[in-house]
Amino acid sequence: MSVIRIRKGHDLNILGVPEKKLQHLQRPVRLELCPLDFRGIKPKLLVREGERVNAGGAVYRDKGRPDILFTSPASGTISSIAYGERRTITGITIDLDKSDIFEDFRVSDADHSDPSSIRSLLLKSGLWPVIRQRPFSGIADPDVSPKAVFVPAMPTAPFAPDIFMQLDGKDRAFQSGLTLLARLTGSPVHLVIDEKNSSPLFTGAEDVILHRFSGPHPAGNVGIHIHHIAPIRHRDDHVWYVLPQDVARIGAFFLTGRLPVTKVMTVGGEAVEQRQYLGFMQGSLIGDILEGNPVSEPARIISGDVLTGTRRDLQKPIGFYDEVVSVIPEKTGRDFIGWLSPGMRKYSVTNLFLSRLFPSGSFSLDTGLNGSERVMIPFGNIESVLPIDIIPTWLIKMIIARDIDEMEKLGIYECDPEDFALCSFVDASKMEIVDIIRDGLDYIEKNG
């Protein structure tokens, strides 16, 4: 088996890497479900305030695709439903019981499940949303047959949890999940691992096509894997992808008949005292995750990694797809004539500062942009960290110009904001390239 070597990219050397020691959070008092975590859905509530719900019980559904249900991770009482502009549901809070009562899904033997029963049970249990679809990175359409399924098992993002820590003790569930995905779709399941990974859990996995990648971030992004293995040619060229922990949850659900609701995550960053691995329940509030773990103020709390995550406060839950909580120093203001300093302690991916001549391990990075948005000049920084065979500068210009034909010719269907996060980081023009790509995808999905 050949190794696909990624040359372009950059591993962010940032202080605050989590220690590989797993602890489990205590059962929280309350959880919150956040429909805004899912792109493109219109939630329709199935419960009211004061109503009880079991673990695995339906809380809301998608109006556009009513088969897709979103369920409660634990049993309890719906204590409040929060609304935003135009009555958008922004959060559903559940006060938990001391112990769970689980919904009975009457799961049949995983070894003999047919595609329609697998699809039906995943939809009823609320596990279907863990399957996402490219292009556009929304929840997979149950009525679509994808040409391939990807399982990216080599995370390279800053503070991303180690794949072996995520799947420790879940060998059977992971293999069962891979088999069920292959049976569900009838399409190739591509399992992507690091070139140095020799674990039998991956090298001996059945019902998959194994691939090895190497190189700096974003070599672990599923978008990079899709580009090199099964490129997306047009908007109806569908590819599904599932994170490894969610594959194990699918397998565990069919093996036990109970909805698995816990995952492994990391807490990392210079501004938090204990950088660690945590076992947590889906929907846990960030305040509960960081309880007893002092944060150095001012700090920014991010659900997700520092390149692609979303800023959230302590009263909100960690994002549905996020596996990292990052806490980094918040910076206000700018360094006085900072551009004149030699930059011995400044982080640089180019040769702008002297620090490039004296590499010294990890750096302290904060939220400062070190400048404001300016004219777009093609220095080549963006191209140096994007391992996709497209012309990103022209694509960005065509998105801003709203030229759909050119966007398609330049390969926008292969793009996803997370693959452009490093582009935003290194861009000398200080453009929010991630937001531009997201805007372009939203525009072409609606108007293309």
DSSP-assigned letters across all residues of 67-91: T-EEE-SS-EEEEEEEE-GGG-EEE
Question: Where are the CATH 3.10.560.10 domain residues in the chain?
Answer: 262-329
Q: How much is the mean pLDDT over the chain? A: 92
Mean pLDDT within 195-224: 96
Q: What percent of the chain has pLDDT over 70?
A: 94
Residue 366: the pLDDT is 84
For residue 190, name the pLDDT band (cuts at 50, 70, 90).
very high
Mean pLDDT within 376-391: 88
In this structure, what is the dihedral angle of CA atoms 148, 154, 160, 164, given to the nearest 10 degrees? Answer: 110
User: Which letter, b or e, does each residue of 152-161 get, where b requires 16 or more Cβ atoms within 10 Å of its Cβ?
Assistant: bbbbbbbbbb
Residue 429: the pLDDT is 86
The one-character DSSP state at 273 is S
Residue 137: the pLDDT is 94
Instruction: With a cut of 70, say whether residue 111 has pLDDT above it.
Output: no
Count of C-beta atoms within a 10 Å radius of residue 33? 24
411-to-171, 233, 389, 404, 447 alpha-carbon distances in Å? 37, 8, 9, 11, 16
For residue 117, name the pLDDT band (cuts at 50, 70, 90).
very high
For residue 362, name the pLDDT band (cuts at 50, 70, 90).
confident
For residue 325, name the pLDDT band (cuts at 50, 70, 90).
very high
Fold type of domain 262-329? Outer membrane lipoprotein wza fold like (3.10.560)
Mean pLDDT within 254-260: 93
Element (H, E) at 45: strand 43-45
pLDDT higher for 448 or 440?
440
Residue 109: the pLDDT is 67
pLDDT higher for 130 or 366?
130
Residue 267: the pLDDT is 97
Instruction: With a cut of 70, say whether residue 185 has pLDDT above it.
Output: yes
Mean pLDDT within 60-77: 96
For residue 444, name the pLDDT band (cuts at 50, 70, 90).
very high
Which amino acid makes up residue 389?
D
Instruction: With a cut of 80, say whether residue 340 has pLDDT above it.
Output: no
Q: What percent of the chain has pLDDT over 90?
A: 82
Instruction: With a cut of 90, say whether residue 436 has pLDDT above it.
Output: yes
Mean pLDDT within 305-325: 95
